[in-house]
Amino acid sequence: HFSNAGFPCPIMQSPSDHFLRAINTDFDRIIAMCKTWQ
């Protein structure tokens, strides 16, 4: 269903992670911030 809406899930990616990235525009920014804290 998600690919029919123009958001196909990339190969080797979790569908749930893909869904979260598509609906949450801050997801990549938060991941980058967490990596700098490590």
Q: Could you give the number of structural domains in the chain?
A: 1
Structural domain includes residue 30: yes
Structural domain includes residue 19: yes
Structural domain includes residue 8: no
Give me the pLDDT at residue 3, please: 86
pLDDT in tens, 1-38: 778 888 899 999 999 988 888 888 787 788 888 888 87
Give me the pLDDT at residue 14, please: 93
Structural domain includes residue 2: no
Question: Containing domain of residue 29, as a range?
Answer: 13-38
Give me the pLDDT at residue 5, please: 83
| Separation of alpha carbons 17 and 27, rounded Å | 10
Structural domain includes residue 21: yes
